């Protein structure tokens, strides 16, 4: 019949997109710690419209309060394990609890978030032709047998451990990204994020920097989990956000490590926090959790060469910036 032969009508959404010069950007997990700093940076550009989707499991509206009501900003309560349809040009897919205590709290939900959540966001990217960036993790290297870790290392991960919902979840998420890229031509970017710290971390996040700073401010002992010689490398959040945007805007799929190569043992971190924040505080040793990686330090050669990126803020400069924010939220002003 004649109706079947009628030419397809262009979708009004696609049509309007053709004329608009604004970049519409979706950030999943945009109410979280890194996500909300990313929102701040992207909103500085007047050509960007930012849509945040967050289920507020670990994120908070408070982190975005200065943008609520802004004409270029939208906030949606949404869980990425459900499909989402929005017309966007770029997707920063950050949504997933990232602190061990939170991602282990409901491990089945964590793996669903990583697998089904990433599938849903890739489906969206495919449907609307958006470029998608996944924030993967240094945890894909597991308890690494090479040091520092570069992107070609395949990792040493326990597939059935208590951390697997997160690290294996992110590994599957990376696989999905590359399969959509190869099979459907989706433009993908993968960042492997190393430990990140800064203002707006949840005070009860449970991770080491936020724990030590809150403990030092409250004059409670700093809890170094045994043996204390395990290492991590800590990146200040503004450096992290800068790296993510460069990766999104650049021409490389990644995976690319984004992190600060300055490596510290947990005992050294505790000593730095003690010296900078509260010289009176005690440092104690407490029991560790299973499968804790013994060492972690990013090789950032690729980020330097391909993105022209390297972190600028040293740990000893970043800790006081975070202390300031924690003091305000805890209501404990500095003594002198």
Question: Catalytic amino acids?
Answer: 166
Reduce the DSSP state of residue 23 to 3 states and report it.
strand
- For ligand UDP, the binding residues in 6-35 under the rule CB under 6 A are none
Chosen residue from 24, 189, 200, 207 binding ligand UDP by CB under 6 A: 207
CA distances from 272 to 208, 277, 283 (A): 13, 8, 11
- The answer to whether residues 269 and 213 touch, using CB atoms and an 8 Å cutoff, is no
Angle at 260 (CA atoms; ends 245, 211), nearest 5 degrees? 105
Q: Tell the smallest beta-carbon distance from residue 195 to ligand UDP (Å).
A: 5
Among 124, 254, 211, 108, residue whose Cα is nearest residue 169: 108
Does 223 contact ligand UDP by CB under 6 A? yes
Reduce the DSSP state of residue 90 to 3 states and report it.
strand
- For ligand UDP, the binding residues in 231-260 under the rule CB under 6 A are 232
Chosen residue from 100, 243, 254, 318 binding ligand UDP by CB under 6 A: 100
Chosen residue from 208, 214, 217, 319 binding ligand UDP by CB under 6 A: 208
Helix (H) or strand (E) holding 263: strand 263-265
Q: Tell the smallest beta-carbon distance from residue 100 to ligand UDP (Å).
A: 5
Question: Looking at beta carbons only, is 150 or 231 nearer to ligand UDP?
Answer: 231
- Rounded to whole angstroms, the Cα distance separating 135 from 30 reads 12
- The answer to whether residues 220 and 329 touch, using CB atoms and an 8 Å cutoff, is no
Q: Tell the smallest beta-carbon distance from residue 228 to ligand UDP (Å).
A: 7
Does 271 contact ligand UDP by CB under 6 A? no
Would you state the torsion angle of the CA atoms of residues 13, 15, 16, 19, taken in this order, to the nearest 10 degrees?
150
Q: Tell the smallest beta-carbon distance from residue 284 to ligand UDP (Å).
A: 10
**Cβ of 175: how many Cβ atoms within 10 Å?**
12
Give residue number: closest CB to ligand UDP. Answer: 207
Contact region for ligand UDP (CB under 6 A) — 68-76, 142-150, 167-175, 221-229? 221-229
Question: Looking at beta carbons only, is 84 or 216 nearer to ligand UDP?
Answer: 216
Among 51, 296, 330, residue whose Cα is nearest residue 204: 330
Question: Phi and psi of 246, rounded to 5°?
Answer: -60, -40
Chosen residue from 106, 225, 252, 301 binding ligand UDP by CB under 6 A: 225
Chosen residue from 28, 90, 136, 230 binding ligand UDP by CB under 6 A: 230
Q: Which two tokens stand for residue 279?
A: 């010289």
Does 199 contact ligand UDP by CB under 6 A? no
Question: Looking at beta carbons only, is 224 or 277 nearer to ligand UDP?
Answer: 224
How many residues belong to the chain? 336
- For ligand UDP, the binding residues in 154-193 under the rule CB under 6 A are none
- Rounded to whole angstroms, the Cα distance separating 227 from 239 reads 29
Does 110 contact ligand UDP by CB under 6 A? no
Applying CB under 6 A, the residues found at the interface with ligand UDP are 100, 195, 207-208, 211, 223-225, 230, 232, 266, 288, 292
């Amino acid at each position: 019949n004649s109706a079947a032969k009628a030419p397809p009508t262009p979708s009004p959404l696609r049509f309007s997109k053709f004329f608009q010069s604004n970049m519409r950007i979706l950030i999943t997990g945009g109410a979280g710690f890194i996500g909300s700093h990313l929102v701040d940076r992207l909103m500085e550009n007047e050509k960007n419209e930012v849509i945040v989707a967050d289920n507020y499991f670990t994120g908070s509206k408070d982190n975005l309060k200065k943008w609520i009501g802004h004409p270029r900003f939208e906030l949606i309560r949404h869980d990425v394990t459900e499909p989402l349809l929005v017309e966007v040009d770029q997707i920063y897919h950050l949504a997933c609890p990232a602190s061990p205590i939170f991602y282990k709290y409901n491990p089945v939900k964590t793996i669903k978030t990583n697998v089904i959540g990433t599938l849903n966001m890739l489906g969206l990217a495919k449907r609307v032709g958006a470029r998608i960036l996944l924030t993967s993790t240094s945890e894909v290297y597991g308890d690494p047998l090479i040091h520092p870790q570069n992107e070609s290392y395949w990792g040493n991960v326990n597939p059935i451990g208590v951390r697997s919902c997160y690290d294996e979840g992110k590994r599957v998420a990376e696989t999905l990204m590359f399969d959509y890229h190869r099979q459907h031509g989706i433009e993908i970017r993968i960042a492997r994020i190393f430990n990140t710290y800064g203002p707006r971390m949840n005070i009860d996040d449970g991770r080491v920097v936020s724990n030590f700073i809150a403990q030092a401010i409250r004059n409670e002992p700093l809890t170094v989990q045994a043996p204390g010689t395990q290492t991590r490398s800590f990146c200040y959040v503004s450096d992290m956000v800068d790296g993510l945007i460069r990766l999104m805007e650049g021409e490389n799929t990644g995976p690319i490590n984004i992190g600060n190569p300055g490596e510290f043992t947990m005992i050294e971190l505790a000593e730095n926090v003690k010296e900078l924040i509260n010289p009176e505080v005690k440092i104690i040793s407490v029991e560790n959790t299973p499968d804790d990686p013994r060492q972690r330090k990013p090789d950032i050669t690729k980020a330097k060469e391909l993105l022209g990126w390297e972190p600028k803020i040293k740990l000893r400069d970043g800790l006081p910036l975070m202390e300031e924010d924690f003091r305000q939220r805890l209501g404990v002003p500095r003594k002198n």
